[in-house]
Structure 1
């Protein structure tokens, strides 16, 4: 193999590595611009990484996951409860996202207090 071919191959590989590193470092996922299946996988991965040990607020979730697919809210004794549903599992190709295709996140006064099936059960049990 000639030295020119090796030289250009190394230069090409180096440029590719720099470009790939730049994209991975500086490109942020934007859920609003993802295809539905990519967004669903992103939502599931993000929610699975949540920890109840650290305070998480609604603004951070919306910034990270975008607008919820479904949302409901109640006020009881001056406290605001909001449940936001993010799609995490595809059930039926009908063009409609339903609650059974989503993971609910429950907020009390803007702070995340529960997620998963129990989150909606807790929200549903709040009687105003």
Structure 2
């Protein structure tokens, strides 16, 4: 192999390494944002994150939105000097109709921006309380 071919080979290898590192870095940085995930991965991510929540320590709504992104569905009301907001994140596929419905989501209830309830039955309790 002559000197020019060795140099060309080193340049190609270096280029492939730089490209591979760039793709890996892009995936690690951008792939971790829920809005950059496909719907299947996002739904699993949402479900796992919500299942890890606990009401033992205060959790702000801004923290949830920072982790999960914008909710799929949201409702809010001010009642007796409190602001209640229930947000829905898709956690289970039901129908392939290109629409996200409440039965495909897990609700999270916030009172004045702090998580007070989540999971099955939360939305019914929210409606009944108002």
Residue 29 of structure 2 corresponds to 27
Residue 5 of structure 2 corresponds to none
Q: Among residues 54, 63, 67, which one is paired with 1:64 in the alignment?
A: 67
Cα deviations across residues 52-92 of structure 1 (Å, max 9, x unaligned)? 11110100000000000000011111100000000000001
Give the root-mean-square deviation of aligned CA atoms. Answer: 2.4
Give the Cα–Cα distance (whole angstroms) in 1 for the partners of residues 115 and 128 of structure 2: 17
Does residue 99 of the first structure (1) align with residue 87 of the second (2)? no
Residue 76 of structure 2 corresponds to 73
Runs of 5+ consecutive residues of structure 2 not aligned to the other structure: 1-16
Q: Among residues 88, 108, 112, which one is paired with 2:111 in the alignment?
A: 108
Q: Secondary structure at the match of 1:117?
A: coil
Q: Among residues 44, 49, 61, which one is paired with 1:46 in the alignment?
A: 49
Does residue 117 of the first structure (1) align with residue 120 of the second (2)? yes
Does residue 87 of the first structure (1) align with residue 90 of the second (2)? yes
Please report how far the alpha carbon of residue 118 of structure 1 lies from its aligned counterpart in structure 2 after TM superposition: 2.2
Give the length in aligned residue pairs: 112
| TM-score when normalising by structure 1 | 0.78
Structure label with greater radius of gyration: 2
Give the Cα–Cα distance (whole angstroms) in 1 for the partners of residues 80 and 40 of structure 2: 39
Structure 1 residue runs of 4 or more that deviate by more than 4 Å after TM superposition: none
